[in-house]
Homo-oligomer: A and B are copies of this chain.
Amino acid sequence: MNDPTKALADDGLAPWRSPLARALHRNRALAYARYLQLATVRADGRPANRTVVFRGFVDTLSEKNLLKFVSDRRSQKMLQLESQAWAEACWYFPKTREQFRLSGRMLVVGQAQTRPQQQPATQQPETQHRLAAERQTTWQNLSDNARSQFYWPEPGAPCQPSADFQPVTIDDLHPPETFCLLLFNLDRVDHLELRGEPQNRFLYTKNKNQAWSCQSVNP
């Protein structure tokens, strides 16, 4: 294995992609190795934390190395991300005993992004188009089980008769407006290998010129 402190990629892939891909591969037998915990900040300043499912990387936009998640527009985390886009995910891989702490800003792609009149001035129509396409593809790739949840009653509201949770007719081509794509744009990755002797810990940081560097730090 190469020295990760020198593994600064010039193919557009961030240097932490390689150890993360390795961890995903080595833990692939565990379905829940694709689950990670995402922390955000509530309106009152308290932290929030919940499990989310990793849906792959997005490397087709001008900004590469984005981690992809999905979320219901009606969930609390959407409110939190609206007022504070910073998030930190903690990803523990049980088999290889390593942890990635991923810190950055979350971009929310909802149905609004597909409507040109609601475009933020800062986003080019071309970017808008790609985001909408990515949202639609992600929807199409979900299981029916995962898709059906976006038609359920409002998450977190007092419990309603279970009749409301019965399977619905799912439009497997066009996502409902509750369906949002989350794209996680990192500026800091903290990788800890518990199996080392003593342990290995690498800190990757992105500077203002969008260049990544890596430093070996004490565990």
Contacts and interface: CB of A to CB of B under 8 A. Distances in A.
Interface of A: 30, 32, 35, 37-41, 45-51, 84, 86-90, 92, 94, 99, 101, 103, 149, 152-160, 162, 165, 197-198, 201, 203, 215-219
A159 to B, nearest CB: 4
A146 to B, nearest CB: 12
A25 to B, nearest CB: 19
A94 B94 CA distance: 11
Contact of A47 (B88, B201, B203): B88
Contacts of A87: 47
A60 B160 CA distance: 39
Interface centre among A39, A198, A216 (most CB of B within 10 A): A39
A199 to B, nearest CB: 8
A94 B27 CA distance: 14
